[in-house]
Amino acid sequence: MTGRLRGKVGFSQSRNTPFQGLAADGAKLALWGLYRAGFRAVAFVHDKGLIELPINADHTEAAKRIDRILCETMEELAGSIPIACEFALSDRWYKAAEAVFNSLGELQKWNPK
């Protein structure tokens, strides 16, 4: 775990602190990994990251690389806990965005309904 301790908190808070700390550490390390790989992270809110990609990029390959960096980084900290990421491609941040693929398996831009 993260080695964090909290004083003067209730039972639930004291039990949740190591997990929140682990998630925070994993997120920061993952963002560092993305930066080192040449990606531009423009926002991170709770458990959602916003990564800016060039318009002419291979978005499918970029999403796979981002997913791999995020998951592998968190797996280093989480041990045997299964780690998974979800992604979507859109021209602005939407909480409800989902991955959309064409018949060739290429990531397509998600549009709100």
The percent of residues in the chain predicted with pLDDT above 70, rounded, is 95
Q: Which two tokens stand for residue 76?
A: 């280093």
pTM for the full predicted model: 0.84
pLDDT at 2: 57
DSSP letter at 81?
S
Q: In terms of Cα–Cα distance, which of 74, 18, 78 is closest to 49?
A: 74
Q: Are the C-beta atoms of residues 71 and 52 closer than 8 Å to each other?
A: no
Q: Please check the confidence at residue 52 and state whether its pLDDT lies above 70.
A: yes
Q: Please check the confidence at residue 6 and state whether its pLDDT lies above 70.
A: no
The percent of residues in the chain predicted with pLDDT above 90, rounded, is 65
CA distance 66 to 64: 5
CA distance 111 to 97: 8
Please compute Rg for the chain using Cα positions: 16
